[in-house]
Amino acid sequence: MKKSFLFLLFVIGLAGISKAQQITFTEVIHDFDEFDERDGSMSYDFHFSNTGDKPLLIKQVITGCGCTSAKWSDKPYAPGAKGVVRITYVPEE
């Protein structure tokens, strides 16, 4: 069965959010286009930078449905540091 899946990076919970903390993603939407779910899980890395002037700590990433999961580092990102949030789509079996 071929399926098309569009993922939009919705919400990221930041520790102690203030005007000094800012995260900027290179993109916030990824379209997996058509694929065969029998091929298994698919992942995509959303790259970001800490464009604020204080350390940034990602505490939570909320995905759009139960078929997706997110992975990220729990380390603080210094101003100017770059990082990745990996989103994985797991098809129902």
- Looking up residue 78, the CATH number of its domain turns out to be 2.60.40
Question: The pTM is what?
Answer: 0.77
Task: Give CA–CA dist 87/92, Å, rounded.
Answer: 16
Total H helices, total E strands in the chain? 0, 8
Q: What is the pLDDT of residues 13-64, one digit of tens each?
A: 444 445 567 899 998 888 888 888 888 899 999 999 999 999 999 988 888 7
Contact status, residue 52 vs residue 70, Cβ threshold 8 Å:
no
CA nearest to 4, candidates 40, 31, 27: 31
* One-letter identity of residue 46: F
Q: What is the pLDDT of residue 66?
A: 84
Contact status, residue 86 vs residue 45, Cβ threshold 8 Å:
yes
**Number of compact structural domains in the chain:** 1
| Residue-range definition of the domain harbouring residue 23 | 2-89
